[in-house]
Amino acid sequence: EARGAGGNRYCFDTPAMNAAMLQRQALEHALRGALERGEFVLHYQPRVSLHDGAIVGMEALLRWQHPELGLVPPMEFIPLAEETGLIVPIGEWVLRAACRQIRGWLDDGIAVPPVAINLSARQFHSGHLDRMIAEALAAEGLDASRLELEITESTAMVDVDDAVATMQKLKALGVSLALDDFGTGYSSLACLKRFPLDYLKIDRAFVSDVTTDPGDAAICIATIQLAHSLRLKVIAEGVEDEFQMEYLRRRGCDELQGYYFSRPVAGEAIAAMLRGGVRMNRAAVAVGTPEP
């Protein structure tokens, strides 16, 4: 970026810089057409209760099915989409697609748990998010309890007063709210207390080494206690093995999400899981009373 080059705005003549700029432009161009070409898809990752092993929710995660690049993960295009404002129509597509999918599952007679979607900062602070969500739910005849919204800690902190007001409107609709990537931003506890949340999601960064890194373990334990004191449920994301699961279970974590149970998968694969009334056996066998 030009500002990175010591404030010299005419410093674009290195080959690396040109390549980066071209790539960026190409990416932006491709991203602009992706919606019309129907190249976005949602994958779904189940979330499992540590109390009974049941699938209690799932998270819709956006992928870009690019004709040449293949399945592009969100971190490779969402920052640019956010910067260019393209995230607004893309985010609306995500919302509509998730509602359409829930409706499809219900029509197929599938017992479907709530679906969580991720909101970008621009969407969240747009001032009419509640209306957009109410319309999307109404279009598919869905009750608001079918939907959960994930807002990252840093998104909420952009403007705390606005965040509180928006969250209150969303809660009034009847959707559940989760604070995502908790621990990676810098919420003050005073702000956290004001947010009308239902869930805290512990970021994967603290979960991956929870059994080996005492610092990460301390953060997970403190987060679980903090959440419970505020009467929120805690979800740990990025659980990849039984040791992490067991550790978090003993510490009283409520719900888990991670490759250990399932990667994010296409809608049909989730339908098969739900149709079978699958309990995630790996959690079911470990169900027990948390240690004090």
Contact positions toward ligand C2E, by CB under 6 A? 45, 61-62, 73-75, 78, 91, 94, 117-120, 150, 180-181, 204, 237-240, 257-259, 264
Q: 130 is in the binding site of which of ligand C2E, Mg ion, none (Cβ under 5 to 8 A by kind)?
A: none
Residue 204 vs 250, nearer CB to Mg ion = 204
Binding range to Mg ion, per CB under 5 A, among 12-20, 37-45, 165-173, 177-185: 177-185
Q: 94 is in the binding site of which of Mg ion, ligand C2E, none (Cβ under 5 to 8 A by kind)?
A: ligand C2E
Residue 199 vs 247, nearer CB to Mg ion = 199
Binding range to Mg ion, per CB under 5 A, among 49-57, 91-99, 179-187, 216-224: 179-187
* Residue 30 near residue 21, CB atoms below 8 Å: no
Helices (H) and strands (E) in the chain, counts: 13, 10
> Least separation, in Å, of the C-beta of 59 and ligand C2E?
6
CA dist., res. 183 & res. 186, Å (int): 7
Binding range to Mg ion, per CB under 5 A, among 100-108, 144-152, 158-166, 191-199: 144-152
Residue 17 vs 41, nearer CB to ligand C2E = 41
> Least separation, in Å, of the C-beta of 280 and ligand C2E?
13
Binding range to Mg ion, per CB under 5 A, among 16-24, 131-139, 145-153, 274-282: 145-153
Residue 49 vs 257, nearer CB to Mg ion = 257
Residue 118 vs 155, nearer CB to Mg ion = 118
Residue 118 binds Mg ion, judged by CB under 5 A: yes
Helices (H), the chain: 15-34, 78-84, 87-107, 121-124, 129-139, 153-157, 160-173, 189-194, 204-207, 214-229, 242-250, 267-275, 281-284
Q: Dihedral angle at the C-alpha atoms of 242, 247, 249, 253, nearest 10 degrees?
A: -120
Residue 150 binds Mg ion, judged by CB under 5 A: yes
* Residue 102 near residue 58, CB atoms below 8 Å: no
Taking CB under 5 A as the criterion, the residue among 130, 148, 153, 180 binding Mg ion is: 180
Residue 107 vs 208, nearer CB to ligand C2E = 208
Nearby residues of 193 by Cβ (< 8 Å), 6 or more positions away: 230
Instruction: Compute the C-alpha angle 262/52/219, nearest 5°.
Output: 70
Residue 228 tokens, joined: 């419970």
> Least separation, in Å, of the C-beta of 204 and Mg ion?
6
Taking CB under 5 A as the criterion, the residue among 148, 181, 216, 255 binding Mg ion is: 181
The 10 Å CB-count burial string (b at 16+, else e) for 151-179 is: bbbebbbeebeebeebbebbbebebbbbb
Distances (CA, A) of 223 to 35, 202, 216: 38, 7, 11
List of residues contacting Mg ion (CB under 5 A): 118, 150, 180-181
